[in-house]
A and B are shown apart, each in its own frame.
Chain A
Amino acid sequence: MTAIPMGYGLLLAAVLFSLGLVGVLVRRNIIFILMSLEIMFNAAGLAFIVAGSRWGQGDGQIMFLLILTLAAAEVGVGLGMVLQMYRRFRTLDADALSGMRG
């Protein structure tokens, strides 16, 4: 029934996830790290949608909804932490916070 083979969709999701992972590992600007996390969330949601479409069930979309909720909460808290970090350290470099006190 599905006109698009499931493998293509899953391949797209896997490549998008890998790109997001590369972004998290390579970039050191905290805003770019958060954006790459969004890419990874989106790729995971895409995989759920592809699987849900393959079997014609609504569960994939429900998992996508939950991922959407998680991404919204994560971005809210993460960007609040970015604001705190910029206020205290005047930088957005994630490596600048690698040291601990004590």
Chain B
Amino acid sequence: MDLVLFSIAAAVALFSTVMVITRLNAVHALLYLIVSLLAAGFVFYLMGAYFAAVLEVIVYAGAIMVLFVFVIMMLNLGKATIEQERAWLRPGMWIGPGLLSLTLMAELIVMFTQSGSVATGHVVQAKSVGILLYGPYLLAVELASMLLLAGLVGAYHLARPPAQVDKRQS
């Protein structure tokens, strides 16, 4: 049973990933990329890594993809933006990612309604992850925080408005 669920989720992930790298339009590719990440999150859930599944949906499909949307929208602050966005998000475009997401949601419903018969892998609770994170991996957490700080400073520096750049150069 869980093998069937895994196969369907894997097929959704593979199909949407292929669609990501073959789309011509960045917004369409982004929709499929979000579906691919959701499918990967479902696979995490099947593997018993509940905490990672939650983080995958919240951080990856939620936060990081929003960054992509911001940048794609920022790059198109032109005159024909409204027509362009209308062309990007025409109704037919939602069918593919919508159907794939519905597949994943159906799997999730099956998973919850038949929770007795569907066995996940070794369930690693968030508690043990947290204990490990602040025990043996404390140095890695500190390094990750420094990496995030460096990323923050770098992103702020790189994405400065061009007016300030010109003022400093002149």
Contacts and interface: CB of A to CB of B under 8 A. Distances in A.
B48 interface: yes
A72 B62 CA distance: 11
A83 B120 CA distance: 43
A76 B156 CA distance: 9
Contact of A61 (B43, B68, B129): B129
A40 to B, nearest CB: 10
Interface residues of B, number: 63
A64 B2 CA distance: 23
Contact of A66 (B37, B75, B144, B159): B144
A22 B131 CA distance: 38
B158 A77 contact: yes
A97 to B, nearest CB: 15
B14 A70 contact: no
B64 A72 contact: yes
Interface string A32-43: 101110110010
Chain B facing A: main interface SS: helix
A59 to B, nearest CB: 7
A62 B137 contact: yes
B44 A71 contact: no
Given A58-B124, A80-B159, A81-B158, A75 B20 contact: no
B75 A34 contact: no
B35 interface: no
Contacts of B44: 46, 49
Interface stretch (B51-59, B80-88, B91-99): B51-59
A29 B75 CA distance: 13
11 contacts: A4-B47, A9-B43, A35-B21, A42-B56, A45-B40, A55-B122, A62-B137, A64-B52, A68-B55, A73-B148, A84-B159
Given A12-B43, A39-B17, A83-B71, 20 more contacts: A2-B121, A19-B18, A20-B17, A26-B21, A42-B56, A46-B44, A56-B124, A59-B132, A60-B52, A62-B137, A64-B49, A64-B55, A68-B59, A69-B147, A69-B148, A71-B60, A79-B67, A80-B158, A82-B75, A84-B159
The 5 closest A-B pairs by CB, nearest first: A73-B151, A80-B158, A56-B122, A23-B21, A76-B155
